[in-house]
Structure 1
């Protein structure tokens, strides 16, 4: 009996211990971990509003401002001459670029001029009898008529009868036929319209030239233009006469040009406006690729910061009492990497570099380099 009672007490003790331990586990409170306070170090800058120049970047290739594509309007054999018709050859204004053999055509012109002379000579007896008052001027015209020179202008007809008489003999029509032939004869010699250099030669001496055939290109190497396409948003900023700094791709040389022309229409396809920059320099060559920085205008009371510091809500982060905050700003110009802002009071402390995961109320500490510490000491 005693053993039974002891067994029952042992079982009750074990069951009670189990429920007591379970109660202790359920009532035990775990202390919540206290997060460590993280203070990020940030780069800051103090706002000082000033006048910011709006510089528009652009690029393009140089093209000679004065250039001529040479075409033949007549047919014949390309005559050899000096200097040779080769790329790189320089010519002075008025110097013959191309001479085409015109001996056959020249003979027909001389024949027409001779016929005109004979026609006038044939009416001289009638003029002396019927129009003695105009005989002398026509006689002077014949005396000055030289087949080796350009046909002189016909004497001015002073009366209606004289006009009818001369026109009725076919003198006027013969004269204009001769002048037409002389104009075409002049096209057998192509002369330099200005002093320049030959950049392309598509024909050689001795070859047969056909009417409408392209013969080459001739440019003035003393002045060039660069055509640049800019966004239509800059249309109101571009001004003719503005100075432009041009740089080559290696940034080893710079040149100064001016905006010579601005297109009055916007390209409907690309929504861009075309501007032309004129530049002079002995080191420039046609086809050179340059980069330009156009000074469109100046924005007063503004600052310039990196674009990644501007939030989508048109706000930027500022530092107030070691905490980040945001303020509204007014962007006035965007470049590829920078943005010009207004409406920021002087003395405002802003971020100089973007902070990953930044938010308003974030605890920060301004970065101080060794030089800053020395200045404070």
Structure 2
């Protein structure tokens, strides 16, 4: 009997002990969470100091020669070989022959007409000596200066009515203008360079038959080039002819100086832009080169310039107040590809210099002033 009582007590004791041990294990299973130290980001800031910000408009385009002519034949003939080859890349000075066509047959006809004019005048000289002795000397001087190898000189001035009837009635005036017409057409057998430049296109070769109206090639002036760019209509009243322009090559290795030569008077209805022509001169330039232009459009007073990625979509920027981030509203005055000009930012305001990932209003930060004014980065 006693043995049963002891075993019962021992069993109850074991069950109680197991319950207490299980409760202990459960209570010790929930370990306290580790305390994560609060990280305060260090940010680069600037102190606002408003000033005058020049607005620079960036545009790009290809160069074209300021002087370009397309060569066309107005007469027909065999293309004769000249002192220089008629090939692309060939340079010609002003006044040099670009193209010369065989005009031997036409030249003979011109000389025949000139000879007929000379004979017509010579045939009336006896009558002039007898009937018009006062005008005879000037016509005699004209004949003396008449050279078949040179251009036909202008007829003497006809002063009197009788002289006019006499000269015109003999067909002298009509014969003269017929000769001048033939001489003018003869000059078209030779095309000379109107300026010093280079041949960029040649569509015929020496010895071929050139027909009237046929295109022969293109000739450009290599001393001056123009670049056509499209600028926003908002700058239509600001851009002026003669404005200095800085140009850079595509690889940013070379810089050139140009100026605004022309500004179109109309605005493109589709793009709402205005066309501006920039003239640039340099011996290294070639037609078709791609350049980027920076045009000084205007100056914005009492403003600052910052990176575009610092401006929020809500037209706000982050500022630092008592080690906390906050936002203030701003007024963008001009956007460029990388920068934005802002107004209505009070002097002394501490703003971010570089974007902060995950930034939000109320975020704790530590300011690291770079001692660089917001206007120092203006180009």
Structures share fold, TM-score greater than 0.5:
yes
Task: Write the distance in 2 (CA, Å) between the matches of 1:39 and 1:338.
Answer: 31
Give the CA deviation at 1:319. Answer: 2.2
What secondary structure, in the 3-state scheme, does the structure 2 residue paired with 1:133 have?
A: coil
For 1:239, the equivalent position in structure 2 comes to 240
SS in 2 for 1:238: coil
Residues 95-117 of structure 1: CA deviation (Å, up to 9, x unaligned): 11111000111111111111211
- For 1:312-350, what per-residue CA distance to the aligned partner results, in whole angstroms no more than 9, with x for missing partners? 443323222233333332221111222101121111012
Q: How big is each residue's C-alpha offset from its partner over 1:243-298, in whole Å with a ceiling of 9 and x where there is no partner?
A: 22211111111111122221122122322211111112111111111111112222
Distance in 2 separating the partners of 1:366 and 1:187: 82
Partner of 1:51: 52
Shift of 1:359: 4.9
Q: How does 1:208-357 map to 2 (within 5 A)?
A: 208-355=209-356
Whole-angstrom CA distance in 2 between matches of 1:90 and 1:53:
42
- Give the TM-score of the pair, scaled to structure 1: 0.83
Aligned to 2:374: none
1:184-223 equivalence runs, <5 A:
184-223=185-224
In structure 1, what is the Cα distance between the partners aligned to 2:360 and 2:237? 38
Alpha-carbon separation, structure 2, partners of 1:368 and 1:153: 88
Kindly tell me the number of residue pairs found equivalent between the two proteins. Answer: 337
**What is the CA–CA distance in structure 1 between the aligned matches of 2:57 and 2:38, rounded to whole Å?**
42
Structure 1: unaligned runs, 5 residues or longer: 1-32, 373-377
- For 2:184 and 2:40, the matched residues in 1 are separated by 85
For residues 180-224 of structure 1, give each alpha carbon's deviation from its aligned partner in whole angstroms, at most 9, with x where no partner exists.
Answer: 110110110111111222222111100011111111112221221
Instruction: Give the 3-state SS of the residue equivalent to 1:132 in structure 2.
Output: coil
Residue number in structure 2 paired with 1:83: 84
Q: What is the distance in 2 between the residues matched to 1:233 and 1:300?
A: 17
Cα displacement (A) at 1:233: 1.9
SS in 1 for 2:58: strand
Q: Which is further off, 89-98 or 119-128?
A: 119-128
The structural deviation recorded for 1:37 is 10
Contact 1:44/1:366 (CA < 8 Å) preserved in 2?
no
CA contact (8 A) 1:65 1:224 kept: yes
Show the counterpart of 1:182: 183
CA distance in 1, matches of 2:71, 2:322: 74
Deviates more, 1:126-135 or 1:104-113: 126-135
Shift of 1:356: 5.6
Unmatched segments (≥5 aa) in structure 2: 1-32, 372-379
